Chain A
Amino acid sequence: MKELIRSLTECFGPSGHEEAVRALIRRELPRGAETRVDAMGNLIVHRTGAAGGRRIMLAAHMDEIGIVVTHVDQKGFLRFGNVGGVLSMPLTGGRVRFAQGITGVIGLEKLEDPSRVPSLDKFYIDVGAPGPADCPVRVGDVACFNRDFEEVGARIVAKAMDDRIGCAILLEVMKELGRSPHDLYFVFTVQEEVGVRGAGTSGYGVEPEIALAVDITLTGDTPECAPMAVALGSGPAIKIKDSGMLAHTGVKDWLLRTAEAGGIPCQREVLVRGTTDASAIQVSRAGVPAGCVSIPTRYAHSPSEMVDYGDVEAVVQLLLRALAEPVDIG
């Protein structure tokens, strides 16, 4: 699975430009899988259930944060805006990659007050162009942060772990899942980072009876960080609440019961800021009981998002167990 995570995380896919990720996922699908791509670009894979099950949607988003070029100046430097939640702190000296493979270095103006975190308009990108006429990049082009996948002890680190790790988990579950009573829809969504946009429309199209997002969450286990009762290596985080959703209690209990029965250690997650695709699916059509299985992640929205590989395997095991049996969500 690590090689799959490597190729997924190193793939190019800022929100609105998920084509390469979608193509990669299609190549990894089990043979003969029933797929369609909807009007927004969501990839929907359907697996018919044996009988007596529910229509369950699992969502992981294909897009990642990045930047969009807003101006090419007289010297050929690029100004840019954010695609999704981009933090200023990790930018300086970093590199970005455009769809056509061009690399850019992120630079920072001289600051009047170096004690304050600069806003994005103080940064620029240098693609090595001597002037605007030679600049190979146009206004509106998007780029992702450029960073290789690496193994660090028991952890793995990459850009776009948010949420390619969810995509990898969905693919793994599809491969490993034996007989299931449920009609399953594995949905690889677009435009999550700019406002859970693809999940709302695919949720409308799939019309599930139960929905689960598989996405990353933050942790509270690093030096002097904001308190949060989630740690790397302590297992899957079962969402209770985040800033966009209260998980359906029946769905949450189903996941907690499944983890307990399988002897899979897990954590109860309350995320103060941030949300997932589940928040949009939950309010699609007449409403959908929704929950989320999260992968604890350090340094989210930086080019080095870190997860524990044991946690990743445990999320796969949890989902395999949950989907193999009939579901009671009360």
Chain B
Amino acid sequence: MLLQRLSEAHGIAGHEEEVRAVLLEQIRDRVDACRIDGMGNLIALKKGTGSSPLRVLVAAHMDEVGLMITSAEESGVLRFAKVGGIDDRVLPARVVLIGPKRVPGVIGVKPVHLLDKGERDRVTESRQLTIDVGATGKAEAEKLAPRGEFAVFATEFIALSDPSSGYRTVQGKAFDDRAGCAILVELLQERFPFDLVAAFTVQEEVGLRGARVAAGAEKPDAALVLECTGANEVPTTRDTSPSTRLGSGPAITLRDTSFISDPRLVELFRTAAREKSIPHQYKQPNIGGTDAGSIHRARDGVPSLTLAVPARYIHSPSSILDLTDFENTAALAREALHRLPRGFVP
């Protein structure tokens, strides 16, 4: 399964090579042209049938959140920096894999017996945490994990649900946004009326950087960003809404902190979902940001929309995704794109 391969590939922001190699192998024979740009974005062209003059960008980011080694202590443990948004609470006692050789290490944590009362109530900040690679001193640690080496969570992809339950949930890391990448690969199987430019972008997690240059170079008439977004259904006593719910279908973004979806595209996706009876939901407004934040501001403006697979516990070592949501996201993207009117841009 492609989602599994992508989830288990390593690629923090700035080190997307491994993910890109998997994607390149997958799409090479499906597209009419492809290139890797100066920042590392993988950009492919799938020509249209010729019935629409439009040029549509569909983007998904290859990078994931992770860690970077910053220094080694005399004792042989490693200091690190976070790359992208990671909650300090998910770090202690995690196994990480460092560098292309996948050197294993454990983020150290004080045993419960030794904690005083104050420590129990506090979250340890990431700059006070260290990674233990089993080295006995600084020199050995630096050899195993030199400064600047990247690290990702060691997470195996696992199918969670009993097939007879009717649910089809899977657990893995980096579904944000390998789920989007996998859907984009699937879309490249067919021809749309318009020229489709697929952009597998770099450095989304550190500021929507790759998408900015990809959109600037490709001059699209419209853009769709395929994402994986947080589903938080943690029980609460307050009557407030979760950002999205697992199992409720693809989430259409109306507005987030980075952009406002083009109202015509929202209507297009809404109608496609309704008429094809594809379950869908609207992401709670004002949360997060996606590559659309860069793309819609490129050149003289690109009408954009973000469609996302909901997943629980994103930006942590283990996120959970519902394969039915995943398939419905692909189905809605495909259906809506086919309906994009040729006169969308006057």
Which residues of the other chain, B, contact A73 by a CB distance below 8 angstroms? 239-240
Which residues of the other chain, A, contact B299 by a CB distance below 8 angstroms? 201, 204-205
A217 within 8 A of B: no
Which residues of the other chain, B, contact A191 by a CB distance below 8 angstroms? 260
Known: A16-B260, A39-B303, A140-B285. A201 touches B241 (CB 8 A): no
Q: Is the CB of B260 within 8 A of A70?
A: no
Task: Kindly supply a per-residue 1/0 record for chain A positions 19-43, scoring 1 wherever the CB is within 8 Å of any chain B CB and 0 otherwise.
Answer: 0000000000000000000111010
* Most chain A CB neighbours (cut-off 10 Å) among B241, B296, B297, B303: B297
Task: Kindly supply a per-residue 1/0 record for chain B positions 203-237, scoring 1 wherever the CB is within 8 Å of any chain A CB and 0 otherwise.
Answer: 00000000000000000010000000000000000
> Which residue of B has the minimal Cβ distance to A200?
B297
B245 within 8 A of A: no
Contact size range, B: 20 to 34
Q: Is the CB of A39 within 8 A of B255?
A: no
Q: Report the separation of the CA atoms of residues A82 and B257 in the bound assembly, to the nearest whole angstrom.
A: 10
Q: Report the separation of the CA atoms of residues A201 and B216 in the bound assembly, to the nearest whole angstrom.
A: 12
Q: Is the CB of A39 within 8 A of B254?
A: no
A19 to chain B, nearest CB (A): 9
A197 within 8 A of B: yes
A129 within 8 A of B: no
Q: Report the separation of the CA atoms of residues A309 and B285 in the bound assembly, to the nearest whole angstrom.
A: 37
B302 within 8 A of A: yes
Q: Is the CB of A81 within 8 A of B241?
A: no
Which residues of the other chain, A, contact B285 by a CB distance below 8 angstroms? 68-70, 81, 139-140
A71 within 8 A of B: yes
Q: Is the CB of B241 within 8 A of A70?
A: yes
B300 within 8 A of A: yes
Chain B interface SS verdict (over half)? loop
Which residues of the other chain, B, contact A39 by a CB distance below 8 angstroms? 221, 300-303, 345
A83 to chain B, nearest CB (A): 8
Instruction: Please provide the chain A residues from 168 to 225 with a CB less than 8 Å away from any CB of chain B in the complex.
Output: 191, 194, 197-198, 200-202, 204-205
B286 within 8 A of A: yes
Q: Is the CB of A70 within 8 A of B300?
A: no
A77 to chain B, nearest CB (A): 8
Known: A71-B284, A121-B240. A38 touches B260 (CB 8 A): no
Q: Report the separation of the CA atoms of residues A16 and B221 in the bound assembly, to the nearest whole angstrom.
A: 19
A159 to chain B, nearest CB (A): 20
Which residues of the other chain, A, contact B255 by a CB distance below 8 angstroms? 16, 68, 83, 140
A79 within 8 A of B: yes
Q: Is the CB of B286 within 8 A of A82?
A: yes
B313 within 8 A of A: no
B282 within 8 A of A: yes
Q: Report the separation of the CA atoms of residues A202 and B260 in the bound assembly, to the nearest whole angstrom.
A: 16
Q: Report the separation of the CA atoms of residues A201 and B254 in the bound assembly, to the nearest whole angstrom.
A: 20
Q: Is the CB of A38 within 8 A of B297?
A: no
Report the number of A-B residue pairs with Cβ-Cβ less than 8 Å.
70
Known: A16-B255, A140-B254, A191-B260. A70 touches B297 (CB 8 A): no
> Which residue of B has the minimal Cβ distance to A121?
B240
Instruction: Please provide the chain B residues from 221 to 280 with a CB less than 8 Å away from any CB of chain A in the complex.
Output: 221, 239-241, 254-255, 259-260, 263
Instruction: Please provide the chain A residues from 42 to 84 with a CB less than 8 Å away from any CB of chain B in the complex.
Output: 42, 68-71, 73-75, 79, 81-83
Q: Is the CB of B300 within 8 A of A38?
A: yes
Q: Is the CB of A197 within 8 A of B297?
A: yes
Q: Report the separation of the CA atoms of residues A68 and B239 in the bound assembly, to the nearest whole angstrom.
A: 17
Known: A16-B255, A68-B286. A40 touches B296 (CB 8 A): yes
Which residues of the other chain, A, contact B241 by a CB distance below 8 angstroms? 70-71, 79, 139
Which residues of the other chain, A, contact B303 by a CB distance below 8 angstroms? 39-40
Q: Report the separation of the CA atoms of residues A74 and B297 in the bound assembly, to the nearest whole angstrom.
A: 38
Q: Report the separation of the CA atoms of residues A198 and B297 in the bound assembly, to the nearest whole angstrom.
A: 8
Which residues of the other chain, A, contact B302 by a CB distance below 8 angstroms? 39
Q: Report the separation of the CA atoms of residues A121 and B302 in the bound assembly, to the nearest whole angstrom.
A: 32
Q: Is the CB of A38 within 8 A of B284?
A: no
Known: A39-B345, A82-B286. A74 touches B239 (CB 8 A): yes
Q: Is the CB of A201 within 8 A of B301?
A: yes
B243 to chain A, nearest CB (A): 9
Which residues of the other chain, B, contact A79 by a CB distance below 8 angstroms? 240-241
Which residues of the other chain, B, contact A15 by a CB distance below 8 angstroms? 260
> Which residue of B has the minimal Cβ distance to A42?
B301
* B286: contacting residue among A70, A198, A201, CB under 8 A: A70
Q: Is the CB of A40 within 8 A of B301?
A: yes
Q: Report the separation of the CA atoms of residues A288 and B165 in the bound assembly, to the nearest whole angstrom.
A: 61
Q: Is the CB of A205 within 8 A of B300?
A: yes
Q: Report the separation of the CA atoms of residues A16 and B254 in the bound assembly, to the nearest whole angstrom.
A: 10
Q: Report the separation of the CA atoms of residues A73 and B239 in the bound assembly, to the nearest whole angstrom.
A: 6
Q: Is the CB of B284 within 8 A of A70?
A: yes
A281 to chain B, nearest CB (A): 12
Q: Is the CB of B282 within 8 A of A201?
A: no
Which residues of the other chain, A, contact B263 by a CB distance below 8 angstroms? 16
> Which residue of B has the minimal Cβ distance to A207?
B300
Q: Report the separation of the CA atoms of residues A202 and B303 in the bound assembly, to the nearest whole angstrom.
A: 13
Instruction: Please provide the chain B residues from 291 to 346 with a CB less than 8 Å away from any CB of chain A in the complex.
Output: 296-297, 299-303, 345
Q: Report the separation of the CA atoms of residues A139 and B302 in the bound assembly, to the nearest whole angstrom.
A: 24
Q: Is the CB of B282 within 8 A of A202?
A: no
Q: Report the separation of the CA atoms of residues A125 and B302 in the bound assembly, to the nearest whole angstrom.
A: 33
Which residues of the other chain, B, contact A121 by a CB distance below 8 angstroms? 240
Q: Is the CB of B240 within 8 A of A202?
A: no
Which residues of the other chain, A, contact B345 by a CB distance below 8 angstroms? 39
Known: A79-B241, A191-B260, A194-B260. A202 touches B300 (CB 8 A): yes
Which residues of the other chain, A, contact B297 by a CB distance below 8 angstroms? 197, 200-201
Q: Report the separation of the CA atoms of residues A16 and B285 in the bound assembly, to the nearest whole angstrom.
A: 13
A-B contact pairs, 6 of them (CB 8 A): A15-B260, A16-B263, A40-B301, A68-B285, A140-B255, A204-B300
> Which residues of B approach A to under 8 Å, CB–CB?
221, 239-241, 254-255, 259-260, 263, 282, 284-286, 296-297, 299-303, 345
Closest 8 CB pairs of A and B: A201-B301, A205-B300, A71-B241, A81-B286, A16-B260, A140-B254, A40-B301, A39-B301
Q: Add 14 more A-B contacts to A39-B302, A81-B285, A201-B301 (CB < 8 A).
A: A15-B260, A40-B301, A40-B303, A68-B255, A70-B285, A71-B239, A71-B284, A73-B239, A74-B239, A140-B254, A194-B260, A201-B297, A202-B301, A204-B301
